[in-house]
Amino acid sequence: MKFKKIALVFPGQGSQYIGMGKDLYDEYKLVRDIYDQASSVLGYDIAGKCFKPHKLGKMIHGLDLNRTIFTQPAVLTTSYACFKVIEEECRKAEIDFDFSFSAGHSLGEYTALLVSGAFDFETCVKLVNKRATYITEFSKAYPDAGLMAVVDKKGKLDYETIQTLCEKYQVYMTIFNTKSQIVVGGFKKNLGEFHKKLKKDGKIATMLKVEGPFHSPLMKPAAEKFKKELRNSTIHIASKPVIANVTSEAIVDPEHIRKELYDQIFTFIDWKRAVEKMIDNGADLFIEVGPKTVLSNMIRTIDSSIPRLNVEDMVSLRNTLKELA
């Protein structure tokens, strides 16, 4: 099948796992070079954080990888390595890998902008490292705040009802993932009361293992501090449109990119609308590039008619190359 418009999507925090990228790292020098470059920028061994066994065991190492300060650069580096591998293999096999647009879930938006030429890898790693640092720093100011996923397995969540409840219980809607999953954030006491109400209504609510109330107004101080990093970083006009988390608009201009990356730290992001925007603009294949298939599963819920592939290891790489050929 010939695909007319390929959309690349890149995962964010929560998709990390010990061993991600390991077989691609073993197989390709270009992947090892990417991890080495990231390590040089970060000042620590990012490959070790991703997949080398810890002398005290996987449990200790896993806890380390799940810390925001390490998670975000690790997922970025792994996702970018996956992209460079599929790009290289398509070139060697003379397969057309001309994607039309891209998007990334929260942190993944940086990878989308990177592969679309908005900045080079070193700049991207520096930005993500600073973002993770500031987010962690200001999350410590809110030890009693976090995020909670709200799921309705029976069908569609009523957006307006959830918004009204958020106002009543003084929590914030932070991510709209699919018609049946929304993430809210705020102080845990308020989230607890919110949870009780949802449970009565037959909804499922689960606290997420994150270090702070990401994408809520509580994180605005982190965004303000990060603004200087964005202003001082070289950002180019993107060669391919990136569908923004906050506005769901296609962004290519450096100033629009800076505003988007500033806003998304403390502003509600609408992943569902971003996916629908790509479909409305003709996307007939989604390829998730990076660890796990979290986004592919969301896309299936949003519109199961659009084919989905992924690249995270040698098995998925071979399968995707076969389908593209």
Q: Which residues are catalytic?
A: 106, 215
- List, in order, residues 6 or more apart from 149 with CB less than 8 Å away: 181, 182, 183, 205, 206, 208
- Residues 219, 204: contact at Cβ < 8 Å? no
- Residues 150, 182: contact at Cβ < 8 Å? yes
Can you spell out the DSSP letters for 136-196? HHHHTT-TTEEEEEEE-TTS---HHHHHHHHHHHT-EEEEEEETTEEEEEEEHHHHHHHHH
CA distances from 19 to 46, 67, 200 (A): 12, 16, 40
- Residue keyed to tokens 């109400």: 197
